[in-house]
């Protein structure tokens, strides 16, 4: 399935690095989401964009910076991360009018050393 | 208190068995309810939505009790391919975000 793609699939970075995660959806959706899944914790929302505007977010540290340049692309910019930020970062998309039907990408598995 | 609570398992069952998972949610403003399936190191995929009247999809039956804030999933005639983690998921009225439970792991054995 290639409806929602994420790159890279795996990323190892040091605490002083700056990197970006990319998500692209090919489904014609207008809402996109970042979720985080840490070991032993439930999947949790980070950010929601609708029509390229951020409309929801949890209490996410400023070292995570989202960007949504258009309705097909979503980025998560990372800087000065901590080892506890190691997790699976999942992107999802939906029609803004149908948030019940979210399609997930394969995720980026991030390891912070 | 977790917003969505599930027994983590694992549930180890033989092929052909019937297995039931339960879930409770704390937010009374929850409007939509789902079961997702997640295979090891993969993304979650929607298994089925859950409706107040209960609903069935092949070997899978889901039930919702709004008064008790309780959701269940019944799997009949378990297959080896059913081995996965089953995530209970809710969405609050007025929000787009999904709230996930930690999941219940199922291992179906030959």
Which tens digit of pLDDT belongs to each residue from A77-111? Answer: 999 999 999 999 999 999 999 999 999 999 999 99
Q: Which two tokens stand for residue A111?
A: 């390891």
Q: Does residue A1 have a pLDDT over 60? A: no
Q: Which two tokens stand for residue A44?
A: 């949790």
CA atoms lying within 13 Å on the CB side of residue A11 = 28
Q: Closest approach of chain A CAs to the CA of B40, in angstroms? A: 12
The SS3 call for residue A82 is: coil
Contacts of A35 in chain B (CB under 8 A): 98
CA distance B57 to A66: 37
Sites in chain B below the pLDDT cut of 50: none
CA distance A87 to B41: 11
Q: Closest approach of chain A CAs to the CA of B35, in angstroms? A: 12
pLDDT of residue A36: 97
H helices, E strands: number in chain B: 0, 11
Q: Which two tokens stand for residue B11?
A: 């549930």
Closest residue to A100, CB basis, from B32, B41, B42: B32
Instruction: For A19-75, write each residue's pLDDT tens digit.
Output: 999 999 999 999 999 999 998 789 999 999 998 889 988 889 999 999 999 999 999
């Amino acid at each position: 399935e290639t409806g929602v793609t994420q790159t890279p699939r795996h990323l190892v970075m040091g605490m002083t690095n700056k990197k970006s995660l990319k998500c692209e959806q090919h489904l014609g959706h207008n809402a996109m989401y970042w979720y985080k899944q840490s070991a032993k914790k439930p999947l949790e929302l980070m950010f929601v964009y609708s029509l390229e505007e951020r409309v929801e977010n949890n209490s996410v540290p400023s070292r995570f910076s989202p960007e949504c340049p258009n309705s097909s692309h979503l980025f998560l910019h990372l800087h000065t991360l901590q080892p506890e930020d190691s997790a699976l970062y999942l992107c999802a998309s939906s029609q803004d009018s149908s948030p019940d039907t979210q399609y997930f990408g394969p995720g980026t598995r991030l390891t912070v050393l | 208190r977790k917003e969505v609570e599930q027994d983590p398992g694992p549930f180890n069952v033989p092929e052909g068995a019937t297995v039931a998972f339960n879930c409770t949610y704390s937010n009374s403003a929850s409007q939509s309810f789902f079961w997702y399936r997640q295979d090891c190191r993969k993304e979650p995929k929607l298994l089925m939505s859950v409706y107040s009247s209960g609903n069935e999809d092949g070997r899978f039956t889901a039930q919702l009790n709004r008064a008790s804030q309780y959701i269940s999933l019944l799997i009949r005639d378990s297959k080896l391919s059913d081995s996965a983690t089953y995530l209970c998921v809710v969405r609050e009225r007025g929000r787009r975000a999904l709230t996930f439970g930690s999941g219940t792991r199922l291992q179906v054995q030959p």
